[in-house]
Amino acid sequence: MAKSILFDLDGTLTDSGEGIMKCAVYALAHYGIDAPSEEQLRTFVGPPLTETFARFGVPLDKLAEAVEIYRKRYIPIGRFENHPYTGVRELLEQLRNDGHKLYVATSKPEWMSIEILEHFDLAKYFDMICGAATDFSRNSKEAVIAHLLKECGAQENPVMVGDTA
């Protein structure tokens, strides 16, 4: 029986750690926060940026600004300091050939997720790519998944594949 399979993007389909971590350091420096260890910086890969910036001491009233600062480096440079994991393309091809419906559900902005997947020629494998809305109406992973399931009707035993709980 064909299943609907939802994939996270960062840390699941692509290794985006380098770009994300460099941009996090860039934004933290703006607030005078010293660069954490590489292990600590890895916590930026996956969850919404506002949650992670808050854990590193960015004041709550500055979280949206921190994301803007982060994106000043991420949009032109950081998003392409990234590469698909070995075997991802072959996996996606096999899953499609086996009749599965494939989707992306990520807390990364939707427009950016589409551009990254197109850049790596992976977008063609997905029936829908769903990410965070630019107006913050859909900025948690739960909201993204709920929206995706509602929009595409991925009701056949959907499975979520990702790197975080």
What is the distance between the alpha carbons of residues 105 and 146, in angstroms, rounded to a whole number? 10
Positive or negative, the CA dihedral 140, 155, 99, 114 is: negative
Catalytic residue among 8, 61, 98, 163: 8
DSSP-derived pairing of the beta strands 83-84 and 14-15? antiparallel
What is the distance between the alpha carbons of residues 95 and 161, in angstroms, rounded to a whole number? 13
Residue 52: in which H helix or E strand, if any? helix 49-55
| 61 among known catalytic residues | no
What the block records as the tokens of 145 is 């998944």
What the block records as the tokens of 14 is 């692509």
What residues are labeled active site?
8
